[in-house]
Structure 1
Amino acid sequence: MQNKRWHSAIPSLLTLLLVLAWLLPGLVGHDPWKGNESRSIGFVHSLLSGAPAAIPTLAGEPLPVHPPLFTWVAANAAQSLSDWLPVHDATRLTGGMFVLLALIFSGFTGRLLYGSEHGRLAVLVLIGSVGLLVRAHEAIPQSALLAAYALAGFGFALSLRRPLIGGALAGTGIGMAFMSIGAVEALALLLAAMLLPVMAPAWRTRASLAAALAMVVSALPWLLIWPLMLYQQAPGVLAEWWHVDTLGRFALLPAHGGMGTLYYLTFLPWFAWPAWPLALWALWKARRHGLTAPGIALPLLMFLSLLGVLSLTNDPREIHGLPLLLPLAWLAAGSTYTLRRGAANALYWFAMMTFLVVIAAAWVYWSAFDLGVPARLSAHVHKIQPGYTGEFRPLMVALALGYCFAWLVLLVLLKRTPQRPLIAWAAGITLAWGLAASLFMYPVNARMSYRSMISSMEPALPSHGCVASQDLNEAMRAMLDYWIDLRTLPVKSLAQSHCPALLVQYDENFPPELTADWREVWQGNRPGNRSERFALYRRVQARH
C-alpha cells in the first residue's frame, strides 16, 4: 500500500520540482531592471525609509498609481531578510511568492473543476505560458494580482461544495485584487461573480446566496480599510488616485479617448501559448450542451469579464492581461484528455524541435558573449551590448548544462500519454529560462540596470543644494533614490527651479536646448540603450 501511495505521489513531486526549477532562477542575484520593477522597488525603499504606509510614495513624492498590498508585503520581507538579501532581491522574492500562490490555487481549482489529475495540468499550462515567463520573475504588483485571481477562482469553484468557505475565499481574492492594482480588476471579478448564477445552474441555489453573503463580508475590509486610512492622512492623494488612476482608466469618460478593445486579443496568440488553442478546443467540445457546466462556465466568465473590462480602459498594456492566463489554463487543463492524438503529437514534436533550436542558439550566443567565438558574432553582440565584459563562469555553465541534461532525460523517459505534450512544453519553457538565467543574466543585467550609469554620474553631482529634474521617468527617479539617496525635484520649466543642478532625460533625436545659464557636466545612458539618454547640468550663474 505504501509503495502504491509513493508511486501515485511521484507525478506531484515531479511537478513541484519543475515549478521550482522554473520559478527560482533569476529571483535574486541581479540589480533592479528598468521599468515596472524599478518603480516597485522604489515604493518599497520609500516605505522602508519612513514614508507613510498608507500613501504610496516614490522618491519622496506621493504617487498613488495602485494600492500598496505588494509594497507592504515586500517591505516586511525585506526587513525580515535584511541580513541575507538586499531590498531589491527580497522584493523580487515577494513577487515569486505571489506567483507560487497563484500556481497553487490554480492547481486546486483545476482539481475541483475537472478531477485530481487536472490540477497538475493547470499548473503545467501556466508555467508553460510564454507571457508569464519573464513577468513571473519580476518585482511587480501584478504578481499579487495573479494570486488574487487564482484565489478568487478557487473560491468560486469551492463554493459549490462549501459555500461559506468558498465565498469567503472568493471575497478575499476580490479584495486582494483591489489592493494589488485597483478597482478595475476587482470590478471584473465582481462582474464574473454576478454572471455565474445567470449562466450556470450550479450556482443558482440557496447555498449560493450564503456564498455571496460570505464573499461580500470578506471583501469589504480589503475594499475599505486602505481608502479610509488614505483619506484620514491625505484626502488629496485619495482624490487623485480615484479620479486619475481609477475612473481615469476608463476610456468611456469624455476626458479620455482611445479604447483598447482589440488590444488584448492581438497579443494573446503568443502571450497565452499553448493555453489558448487547448482552451478553444475545450469550448468547441462543449459547444452544444456543456457551456453551462462549472468547468466551462467559470473560466469562460472570468476570462470574458476581465477581457471586457480591460477593453474599456485607455491604458492597454500586456502586463494588465496576466490574469487572463488563469481561465485559459483551466480550460486547457480540462481539454487535455480529449485532445486528438494527431494534435497531441504535433504539440509534442513542436515543443521538442523548438527547444532543441533554443539550446543550440543559447550556447552559440553564450560563446560569442563570454568566449569571443565566433569572432564576427561576438563583435556584433558586444556592439549591441557595449557595457558587458565577457567572462567564463564555471558555476553558471554547469547550471546550464544541468538544465539541458535534465530536459533531454525527461524527454527520453516520458511515456506516450495525453499529458506528454504539456509536460514537454512546460519543461522546455523551464529549460529556456534556466539557460537565460545562467548564461545571459550578466549581459542582460548590464543592459537593464541603471546602477553603472548612476555611478558614473555621481561624481558630477553638486556637494550641496538640490537637483532639479525634467522629464525624468519614474524608474530612474526610484533608482536614484535607491542607489545614492538622491531625490530630485521634478519641474516643468526651468523658471520653477532654484536648484544649482538639473538632470534631464531626453531622446537622442531631440536633445535638450537650454540657455547659457546651464553647462553640461555629464551625459550618459544605460549601456546599449540609445533612445533613453540623460544629461546633468550645473548652473553657471547663481540667481540673485
Structure 2
Amino acid sequence: MYFIKPTDPNPITPAKAVLLGALILIWVFTGLVGHDPWKPDEAQGFGVVYSMLQSGDWLVPTLVGEPYMDKPPLYYWTAALSASLFEPLLPLHDGARLASALYVGLTLLFIGLAGRKLYGENRGWAAAVILIGCVGMMVRAHQMVTDLPLLAGCAMMLYGFSLSQERSLRAGLLIGTSVGIGFMSKGFIAPVLFMLIAAMLPALFQQWRGRRYVSSLAIAALFALPWLTVWPLLLYQHSPRLFADWAWAHNIGRWVDYAEHGPTVDSFYYLKNLPWLAWPALPLAAWAVWQSRHRLAQRDDLQLPLVAFGVMFVTLSFVPNIKEVFALPMLLPLTLLATASLSSLKRGAANALDWFGLMTFALLAIALWWGWAGLLLDNHAKITLWLKDYQPGFEPSFEALPFWIAVAATVLWLVMVWRVGRSMRRAVTNWAAGITLTWVLAMTLWLPWLDSGKSYRHMVASLKQAMPQHYHCVGYDYVGEGPRAMLHYFGGIVTREDRKERCDLRLIQGNRLSKPLLDETRWKKIWEGSRKGDKGEHYRLYRRIP
C-alpha cells in the first residue's frame, strides 16, 4: 500500500492479546447451544439440515421431503456435518448451530488480517473487536443462517483485495475462494459484489490500475470457477427442472421482476436502519472518511473499504425481500474504516464514546439482573407483569449453572473495563465487552424466557397428542416453511401440499380471529393452538368426517 501506516504508541502486549482473544471467544460461542431452533430463520434453515440428515441426499436441499431450492447447500452441508459430529454430545440442532461459529470465526480472522494489512501491525485486533461490537452482529452471528458463510466470504474477499497490488497469487486464491463460498451459500450476490468492486476500484482510483491487480483478478476467476460450476452442473444433470427452479425462479427471475417494478419503500431500509445496526462502527468510519476527504486519492487503504461499502450498500438496497440480516456484509468495510479512525480519533470523542458505552451497558446489565430477579421472585412490578403476559405460561425457575456464569461474566466485565489501559482502542474494547456481557446475560438468565416464546417444541407436542393414532396423511394450508420443519423435527409429522384434499387430516395456519376455512359438515376441528405468546400465528387441525 502506498499510504505510510502510523506507528502505534500503545502496542498490544501478550497479556492484552490473551484478554482480547478471550473476549472474542466468549462472544463467538455464547448462545450457540442450549435452545431450540427459533422462529423464523433458524427453524427453516435447520429444517433443511434435518431433511438432509434424514434423507441422505446432499445434492438437492429439501424441506420436509420437498425440494427447497432457495439457496445453494454450503451452509446446510457444514451444519449437517457439525450436527453429525457432535450428535453424541449435543442435540442435532445445537450441533448444527456450531457451524455458525466456524464462519463467524473465519469472518473475524480475515477482517483482522485485512485491518492489519491496511492499517498496521496492531490494528488486526482492533478490527475484530469493532466488528463484534456492532449491534447488528450480536444476534445474527449466533443463528443458523446462510448469511454467515457469505459474511465470511466477503471478509476473505476484502483481505484478498488488500493484497492484490502486491501478491497476485495469494490475493487471487483468496478472492476466488471467497466468491465461491459466497456463491455456494447465497447464490449470485457474491459474484455480483466481486465484479462491481473489482471494476469500481480502478475506475475511480489510479492506484488500482496496475498489472498485479489485473493478474489477481484473473487468478481469482480461475479459483472461483470450480465453486461456480460443479454443484450447478451436478444439479442440472440430476434434474433440469430443479436447476431452472433454483437459477431462475429463486434467483435471477426475482431480480428481473424486482427491476421491472423499480425501487420501493424497502429500498431505503438500510438508510434508516444501518445507523443502529452498524453502531459504533458507522460514526467512526464517517470520521475517518471526513478527516481524509482531501487525501482520498492517495489513501488506497481507505479506497478499498469505501468502494466496497458503496457497492454493497447500493446493491443490497435493491434486492428483493430486504431483511436486516442482509446488511451484515456492509458491516465489514465500515469496520475497516472505523479501524482507520483509531489513529486520528480525538481523545475527547474517544472518551465520550467510552463513557457512553460504560453507562449504557451498566444500566442495561442492571435492568437485565433486576428483570430476571423480578420474574423469579414474582414481585408484581409492572414490568414483571408485562414480561409474564408476553410469555404466558412461562414458569421461571432458578438454575445454578447459568446463574453463576452470569455472575462471573458481570465480574469479569467490571474487571476488564477497570483494567483496560488508556488508548484510542479503549472505547471500542469497552463497547465490545459491554455487548458481550449483554449477550451472556441474555443467553443465561433470560434464555428460558426467550426459548419459551421462540420455540415450537411445546406447540408440536400438544398437536401430536391430539392427533389420532392412525391417519393417512396431513395436508396443510398457509403453514410456513419454519413451522412445517419443526413439526417434522419435534413430532415426526410430515405435512404435504394437498390440493385435491385426499389427506384425512388438515392443518391450517391463520390468526385467532379468523373463521374456519373448511366445510364444517365435512371436517371436524380436533385441535387448536399456537406458540406461547404468539398472537400472529394460530393453528387448527381438522379431521375428515367419514
8 Å CA contact retained: 2:177, 2:220:
yes
Report how far residue 490 of structure 1 moved: 2.1
Distance across 1 between alignment mates of 2:110 and 2:51 = 31
CA pair 456-241 structure 1, distance change in 2 beyond 3 A: same
Partner of 2:312: 306
Equivalent in 438, 463, 480 of residue 473 of structure 1: 480
Matched, 1:380 2:370: no
Partner of 2:149: 144
Partner of 2:492: 485
Partner of 1:128: 133
1:215-294 correspondence to structure 2 within 5 Å: 215-250=220-255, 253=258, 256=261, 258-259=263-264, 260-291=266-297, 293-294=299-300
Distance across 2 between alignment mates of 1:121 and 1:375 = 42
Distance across 2 between alignment mates of 1:275 and 1:7 = 21
- Matching residue's letter, 1:63: Y
Matched, 1:68 2:76: no
Report how far residue 184 of structure 1 moved: 2.0
Distance across 2 between alignment mates of 1:477 and 1:519 = 21
1:67-95 C-alpha deviation (Å, 9 max, x unpaired): 10001111111122221122211111101
Distance across 1 between alignment mates of 2:92 and 2:154 = 27
Partner of 2:5: none
Equivalent in 439, 443, 451 of residue 437 of structure 1: 443
Distance across 2 between alignment mates of 1:450 and 1:247 = 33
8 Å CA contact retained: 1:42, 1:478:
yes
- Matching residue's letter, 2:505: A
8 Å CA contact retained: 1:59, 1:487:
yes
Distance across 2 between alignment mates of 1:79 and 1:19 = 26
Structure 1 unaligned regions, length at least 5: 1-5
- 3-state SS of paired residue (1:402): helix
- 3-state SS of paired residue (2:102): helix
Partner of 2:339: 333
Report how far residue 15 of structure 1 moved: 1.4
Distance across 2 between alignment mates of 1:258 and 1:235 = 32
8 Å CA contact retained: 2:263, 2:318:
no
- Matching residue's letter, 1:500: D
Matched, 1:97 2:102: yes
Partner of 1:507: 511
Equivalent in 486, 489, 502 of residue 498 of structure 1: 502
8 Å CA contact retained: 2:147, 2:185:
yes
1:10-61 C-alpha deviation (Å, 9 max, x unpaired): 2222111001111211101111111111111111111111253221111111
8 Å CA contact retained: 1:96, 1:143:
no
- 3-state SS of paired residue (1:337): coil
Equivalent in 145, 168, 191 of residue 163 of structure 1: 168
- 3-state SS of paired residue (1:250): helix
Matched, 1:112 2:117: yes
1:185-205 C-alpha deviation (Å, 9 max, x unpaired): 331122102222223333321
8 Å CA contact retained: 2:43, 2:482:
yes
Distance across 1 between alignment mates of 2:117 and 2:257 = 38
Distance across 2 between alignment mates of 1:324 and 1:512 = 45
- 3-state SS of paired residue (2:527): strand
- 3-state SS of paired residue (2:122): helix
Partner of 1:402: 408
Distance across 2 between alignment mates of 1:422 and 1:317 = 27
TM-score (norm 1): 0.95
1:2-17 correspondence to structure 2 within 5 Å: 8-17=13-22
Report how far residue 507 of structure 1 moved: 2.1
Partner of 1:85: 90
Structure 2 unaligned regions, length at least 5: 1-10
1:226-280 C-alpha deviation (Å, 9 max, x unpaired): 1111101121111111222212332665665554432121110110000100010
Distance across 2 between alignment mates of 1:53 and 1:311 = 32
Partner of 2:3: none
203-212 or 368-377, which deviates more: 368-377
8 Å CA contact retained: 1:105, 1:154:
yes
Partner of 1:3: none
- Matching residue's letter, 1:204: R
Distance across 2 between alignment mates of 1:292 and 1:69 = 39
Partner of 1:153: 158
- Matching residue's letter, 1:514: L
Distance across 1 between alignment mates of 2:367 and 2:404 = 17
Distance across 2 between alignment mates of 1:505 and 1:292 = 59
8 Å CA contact retained: 2:79, 2:99:
yes
Matched, 1:57 2:87: no
Distance across 1 between alignment mates of 2:371 and 2:51 = 39
8 Å CA contact retained: 2:258, 2:320:
no
8 Å CA contact retained: 1:257, 1:314:
no
TM-score (norm 2): 0.94
